[in-house]
């Protein structure tokens, strides 16, 4: 059965890294939920906005897949750009919709972890004072509703580029939110913190760039697999940028079908490429 | 309250027209459902696959918006590439997920119509023989479950480019499916047929191209607004390709924010453009 992971939070969980800045990840053992069903993953995974792009979930899944070569991983995209913690309160639509998507996923998968990244929209006006209590209510309700009391919850910190330029200018209280996220991860059971130290942003000053998202996903995977907090950048995290590998027959067919369907190659070129793929 | 429309069917409802082949539609009075909530529409609306693009829903919505300048329209994307009619049976996941999305939409909108386009995946192996009965079961269950007994259901025909080249080669029995779709629209109440005559395809031989999707949406709107079958291409349908208009302040802010968030402009350029927008 597919091992699945919930993606919850705001834009940096949805992903805004520019697709052209990193190599794509094609791996037939990584799926994403679409219309309640599993499809092979291609980024963007979490299409909440037309600017959705690279998120940490893809390199998380790729690292997980490399560590579990006989298994299939599924990603359940529920993140929503610009959402505050109040937008995620259990009675609200985002939370209820995430429950609904999770329940569709659970028909054909076992949810094994929760990936959370949120806080930019709470990094001002002293919202950090109520952050811990609100996050506790959200996560305990989520675990209870889905009967996921003991699976790991991985929560990432906010980037040090915040509070300075562009759309990130207003998020001046991100250090206080980071304190609350760390406190939450240290005090709550089955929860692990992942630092955003060293990650860099797009020109908008708020969104983690593509290469940094790859590294962030690698950190999330290390937190998940070692069940520990990741408080410093990891020595091996650059390897998340190197996704080159020999593609399986299914992956090659998928890639050539994308090329044709997106108009990059003609049908004659597609046929020629497929003939090569199908060679015994 | 937002007037909303369900998008159901397979890839040509989801949309595979190339985005660069037509002018984008930016209209703050057209929304699309994301995570159970309404966002301003940008194509692709129905992100079932990474190759999702222009669908008929955008020009349908734009024509509707022009005819109802004081209202807001919302699109509920539920179409799934490659889905057969069996995949849409009421007990199946696609149908159940569409019901779930519709119910989220109904918290903040009134569903006023159903847009359906499907049949390529049933255009072989004599599946047309059971198409009518299956479609009847799907639509009567859908109307009953959502209490939408009397709203218009608009169903489009399959393109004459099918059965010839590329991915469309196998769909040789599309004329028989078209017969069943027409029969359904003529025999069932509150259902209107829209011809695909004259529409053209992408190089893959199966997906309606972007310009044709614009025209198709215009035909869907004419069927909806006149409550009649559209059996021939329409004299005015070329106007669906001309989407040029003066953008509102909100639309300009939205466009410049997209430009920044997607890396097309720097933050300094964004600020300069925003200063112009904000000029009194």
Q: What is the DSSP string of A96-155?
A: HHHHHHHHHHTTSEEEEEEEEE--GGGSSTTTHHHHHHHHHHHHHHHHHHHT-TTS-EEE
> CB of B122 within 8 Å of any CB in chain A?
no
pLDDT above 90 for A280: no
Say which DSSP state B194 is in: E
- Helix (H) or strand (E) run with residue A8 in it: strand A2-9
Contact assignment for B35 to A261 by CB distance below 8 Å:
no
Q: What is the pLDDT of residue B209?
A: 98
Q: Is B49 on the interface with A (CB under 8 A)?
A: yes
With an 8 Å Cβ cutoff, is A31 touching chain B?
no
Report pLDDT digits (tens) over B193-216.
999 999 999 999 999 999 999 999
Whether the CB of A98 is below 8 Å from some CB of chain B: the reply is yes
Residue whose token pair is 């129905």: B46
Q: In B, which residues are within 8 Å of A261 by CB distance? A: 16, 49, 51, 167, 202, 204, 207
Quick check: A80 and B34 CB within 8 A? yes
- Per cent of chain A over pLDDT 70 is 100
Convert the pLDDT of each residue in A44-54 to its tens digit: 999 999 999 99
How far CA A41 is from CA of A127, A244, B8, B50, in Å, comes to 35, 16, 22, 9
Is the Cβ pair A260, B166 closer than 8 Å? Answer: yes
Residue B280, pLDDT score: 79
Contact predicate B209/B19, CB 8 Å: no
A104-118 pLDDT, tens digit per residue, is 999 999 999 999 999
pLDDT at A245 over 90: no
Quickly tell me which residue has 């309606």 as its tokens: B208
In this prediction, residue A189 carries a pLDDT of: 97
Quick check: B169 pLDDT over 90?
A: yes
Which chain A residues touch B93 with a CB distance below 8 Å? 35-37, 104, 107
Please give the pLDDT value at position B92: 98
Does B166 contact A at CB distance below 8 Å? yes
Angle at B265 between CA B264 and CA B270, to 5 degrees: 140
pLDDT beyond 90 at B244: no
pLDDT value of position A126: 97
pLDDT confidence bin for A247, thresholds 50/70/90? very high
Please report, in angstroms and rounded to a whole number, the separation of the first and last CA atoms in chain A.
30
Task: Name the minimum distance, in Å, from the CA of A224 to any CA of chain B.
Answer: 26
Q: Is residue A229 within 8 angstroms of chain B, CB to CB?
A: no
Q: Name the closest residue on chain A to residue B37, using Cα atoms.
A: A93
pLDDT at A244: 86
Contacts of B16 in chain A (CB under 8 A): 261
pLDDT score for B173:
98
Euclidean distance between CA atoms A107 and A104, whole angstroms? 6
Q: Report phi then psi at B156, rounded to 5.
A: -95, 155
A200 touches chain B (CB under 8 A): no
Asked, as a colleague might, if the bond just before A44 is cis with ω within 30 of 0, I would say yes
Cα separation of A32 and A107, whole Å? 14
A267 token code pair: 């049908």
* Averaged pLDDT, B62-78: 97
Which of B50, B90, B118, B255 has the most A C-beta neighbours within 10 Å, making it the best mutation to test the interface with A? B50
Q: Is the pLDDT of residue B66 over 90?
A: yes
Q: Tell me how far CA of residue B121 lies from CA of B9, B131, B175, B203, in angstroms.
A: 10, 11, 13, 18
Provide mean pLDDT across the span A199-228: 97
* pLDDT at position B84 over 90: yes
Q: Average pLDDT over chain B, rounded to whole?
A: 97
Return the pLDDT at B163: 96
Distance of CA B276 to the CA centre of its chain: 34
Partner B contacted by A47 (CB < 8 A)? yes
Q: Please state, in angstroms and as integers, the Cα–Cα distance from residue B75 to each residue in A114, B30, B72, B178, following that order.
A: 29, 8, 10, 25
Average pLDDT over residues A176-189: 98
pLDDT for A189-202, tens place per residue? 999 999 999 999 99
Name chain A contacts of B51, Cβ cutoff 8 Å.
Answer: 258, 261-262
Residue A92: left if φ>0, alpha if ψ -120 to 50, beta else—which one? beta
Predicted pLDDT of residue B271: 94
Q: Given phi > 0 = left and psi -120 to 50 = alpha, else beta, which region is B210?
A: alpha
A118-134: pLDDT as tens digits = 999 999 999 999 999 99
pLDDT at position B245 over 90? no
Is residue B213 within 8 Å of B56, Cβ to Cβ? yes
B93–A contact, CB cutoff 8 A: yes
How would you classify the pairing of strands A73-77 and A109-117?
Answer: unpaired
What is the reported pTM?
0.97
Instruction: Give the strand pairing for A37-40 and A30-34.
Output: antiparallel
Mean confidence (pLDDT) of chain A: 97
Share of chain A above pLDDT 90, in %: 97
CA distance A260 to B204: 6
Closest among A160, A162, A226, A146 to A193, alpha carbons compared: A226
Contact between chains at A98 and B204 (C-beta distance less than 8 A): no
What percent of chain B is predicted at pLDDT more than 90?
A: 97
Is the pLDDT assigned to residue B47 strictly greater than 90? yes
The residue written with tokens 């950190």 in the block is A219
| Distance between CA atoms of residues B156 and B120, nearest Å | 12
Q: Is A254 within 8 Å of chain B by CB?
A: no
CA A148-A150-A152 angle, 5° bins: 95
């Amino acid at each position: 059965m597919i091992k699945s992971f919930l993606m919850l939070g705001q834009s940096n969980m949805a992903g805004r890294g520019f697709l052209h800045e990193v190599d794509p990840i094609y791996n037939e053992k990584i799926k994403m939920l679409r219309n309640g069903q599993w499809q092979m993953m291609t980024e963007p995974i979490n299409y909440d906005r037309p600017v959705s792009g690279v998120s940490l979930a893809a390199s998380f899944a790729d690292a997980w897949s490399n560590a579990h070569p006989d298994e299939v991983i599924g990603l359940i995209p529920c993140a929503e750009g610009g959402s505050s913690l109040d937008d995620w309160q259990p009675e609200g639509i985002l939370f209820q919709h995430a429950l609904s998507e999770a329940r569709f996923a659970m028909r054909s998968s076992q949810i094994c972890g929760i990936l959370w990244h949120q806080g930019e929209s709470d990094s001002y006006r002293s919202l950090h004072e109520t952050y811990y209590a609100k996050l506790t209510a959200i996560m305990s309700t989520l675990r209870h509703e889905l009967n996921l009391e003991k699976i790991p919850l991985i929560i990432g910190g906010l980037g040090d580029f915040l509070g300075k330029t562009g759309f990130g200018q207003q998020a001046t209280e991100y250090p206080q939110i980071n304190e609350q996220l760390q406190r939450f991860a240290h005090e709550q059971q089955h929860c692990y913190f992942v630092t955003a130290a060293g990650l860099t942003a797009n020109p908008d000053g708020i969104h983690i760039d593509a290469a940094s998202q790859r590294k962030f996903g690698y950190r999330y995977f290390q937190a998940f697999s070692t069940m520990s907090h990741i408080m410093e950048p990891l020595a091996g995290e650059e390897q998340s940028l190197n996704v080159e590998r020999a593609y399986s027959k299914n992956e090659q067919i998928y890639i050539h079908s994308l090329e044709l369907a997106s108009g990059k190659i003609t049908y004659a070129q597609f046929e020629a490429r497929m003939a090569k793929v199908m060679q015994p």
